[in-house]
Chain A
Amino acid sequence: MSDPLFPDGTCTQQHAVKNRYQTEIFNMAETHSLQDMRQQAAVAAKVFVQRDYTSGTMCQFQTKFPSELETKIDKQQFEETIRTLNNLYAEAEKLGSQSFIEGCLACLTAYTVFLCMETHYEKVLKKIAKYIQEQNDKIYAPRGLLLTDPIERGLRVIEITIYEDRSFTR
C-alpha cells in the first residue's frame, strides 16, 4: 500500500513523521480557529441583540434569546453573557460619588485633566472589550459564533455573527 504523502513506502519512520505533521495541523487549526473562521468560513447569518430602553436611556441590552441561536448555544449561557455586559455598562454609567468627584475635578481644571487621565467610562469599556474577547475565545468561537463589541456599532446593538458549520473533526 502506498501512502500518497510518502510514496516510497516504508513503515515506522515515515508514519511517525506523518503523524507529527497531522498533529501539527490539528493544533494549528485549534489555536487559530478564530482567525480561520473569520477568513475562511462563510457568514451564514447575523443576529442583532437590540437595546433595552425600559430603564431609561442607560445602556442595557435585551436578554431575550434570539431564535436563530437556539441550535447553537445554550440559553442560560447567552443570558449570562448579556447580563454581565448589562452590569458592566451600568457600572460605567453609574451616578455615584466617583463620577461626581471626577466631574467636579474635571470642571475645576477646565476639563484639561482628561488629556492625561482616562475617564471612568473608558476604563470600564476596556474591561468590557476584554470580557467579550474572553467570551468569544472560550464559549462562542467553538460554537461557530462571534460577538462584536457594541462600541463598534455605536452602542446600539450586539452583533452576533453565525458562521457556516465547517467542523474540523473528520
Chain B
Amino acid sequence: MSAVMITRKVRKWEKLPGKNTFCCDGRVMMARQKGIFYLTLFLIVGTCSLFFAFECPYLAVHLSPAIPVFAVLLFLFVMAMLLRTSFSDPGVLPRALPEEANFIEMEIEAANGNVPSGQRPPPRIRNVQINNQIVKLKYCYTCKIFRPPRASHCSICDNCVDRFDHHCPWVGNCVGKRNYRYFYLFTLTLSLLTIYIFAFNIVHVVMRSVDSGFLKTLKETPGTVLEMLVCFFTLWSMVGLTGFHTYLISLNQTTNEDIKGSWSGKNRGQNPYSHKNIIKNCCEVLCGPTYPSVLDRRGLMREDSPAFAASEGPCSLDNPVAQTTKTTAPLIPNEHTPDDVKPSIAASAEKSPSPKEDQSPAPKIPPLASPETDVETSIAKNH
C-alpha cells in the first residue's frame, strides 16, 4: 500500500460538532446568532462616542481633564471584558469519541441488567457523593457522556459546557467556567461606566443650564439626551444583573442552579460546592486558576498519515466523530435552557430564524438511546 501523504492543513475547529462559529482560524469562538452582540457593541461604542464628543470637551475644560481620561480607561476595560467573554471558549466539553461512547454504553447496559422488551429502560443517572450531598450526574445523549457536576448542555450552542451559567445573547456566547469572571467584570464595569456617563451627563446639563438655560442646553447638545435615555434604561438592568451575580458568586452558585432551585429549599439540601465563606467563594470564582480550553481548536487534524494509509479500517479516528455526532437528538429547549433564556430565544426567533425551526423538520434519533424528553419529563412528573 502506498504511503502517499496529502498534506491538507485542516484544523480541528473545522470539524468540531456543535453550533459555534469560529473566526481567526479557530482563535475566536462564538455562538451562531450574533445579532444581539452587535447591538451591544453598537450601544456601548455609540454612547461612549457621544460622551467623548459632547460632554468631554466641556467637562475637561470646566471641571477636570481627568474625567475623560478615566472614562477612556473604563471604556477600554469594558470592551476588553466584553470581547474576552464573547470570544473565548466558555468551557465546552468535547464529545465522546466512539470507543469511549461504546464503553459507557456497555457499562450502562451491564448496570441495567435485562430490561423486558416493551418497557422503557431506566434513566441514565449516576449518583455521586460530594461533601455529604448526593449529586445526580445526568447522561447527555448528544455528547454521549455523563455530564460532570455543574455542567449542562446548551441547546443553542449544542455543546455541554462545564459550570454552565447561562447562554447570554448580549455577549453572543455561553457563560461557563472559563469566561464567567470576564462576564461578571463586564457587567460590573459596564454598570460603573453607565453610572459614570449618566452622572456626568447630569453635571454637564446642570452646569450649562446655569449659563444658558435648560431648553437651550438640550438643543445645543442633543447627544446628551440620547445618552441619558440609553443610560437610564441600561443602568437598572445592569446594576440589577451585577447585584444578582454578586449574590450568586458569594454563594458559589450558577444561574442554572439558581433557576432550577438545586440548592434552595429544605428538600434539596445544601450547596456542596460552597466554602460556606463569602470571601472564599468570591476568591474561588474570581481569582481562581485560569482553566485552559480542553477543546483543541487550533490543532491539526491527523487525517492523512502513514498509519491510516496502511490500515484497512476507516480513515481516521476523527472523521467518525463528525459522522456519528451529526445524528443529534432533536433540540429540547425545555430541558436544557434555563427559563430566563427562553424569552430571549423567543426574541431572537422574531429577528432571525430560530435553530429550533431549522432542526425540527428532520430530527434524527440517536442509536441506542431513548428520547431524552420522555425520560426526563417522566422523572420531572414523578418528583
Contact = CB atoms under 8 A, between A and B. Distances in A.
Nearest to B135: A53
Interface string B301-343: 0000011001000000000000000000000000000000000
A107 to B, nearest CB: 7
Nearest to B145: A156
Contacts of A93: 288-289
A154 B289 contact: no
Contact of B94 (A38, A46, A100, A154): A154
Contacts of B283: 95, 100
A90 to B, nearest CB: 11
A103 B286 contact: yes
B234 to A, nearest CB: 21
B99 interface: yes
A54 B287 contact: no
Contact of B310 (A39, A54, A94): A39
Given A39-B307, A107-B185, A152-B296, A53 B291 contact: no
B74 to A, nearest CB: 11
B81 interface: yes
Interface residues of B, number: 45
Question: What is the size category of the interface that chain A forms with chain B?
Answer: 35 or more
Contacts of B150: 57
Interface string B282-300: 0110111111101110000
B217 to A, nearest CB: 35
A96 to B, nearest CB: 9
A54 B132 CA distance: 9
Interface stretch (A26-34, A76-84, A120-128, A136-144): A120-128
B87 to A, nearest CB: 12
A114 interface: yes
B2 to A, nearest CB: 15
B148 A53 contact: yes
A99 B289 contact: yes
Contacts of B272: 56
Interface in B126-152: 128-131, 135, 137, 145, 148-150
B273 interface: yes
B80 A110 contact: yes
B100 interface: yes
A38 to B, nearest CB: 6
A69 interface: no
17 contacts: A51-B148, A53-B130, A53-B148, A57-B273, A93-B289, A107-B185, A110-B76, A110-B80, A111-B80, A111-B84, A125-B292, A151-B294, A152-B296, A154-B93, A154-B94, A156-B100, A159-B99
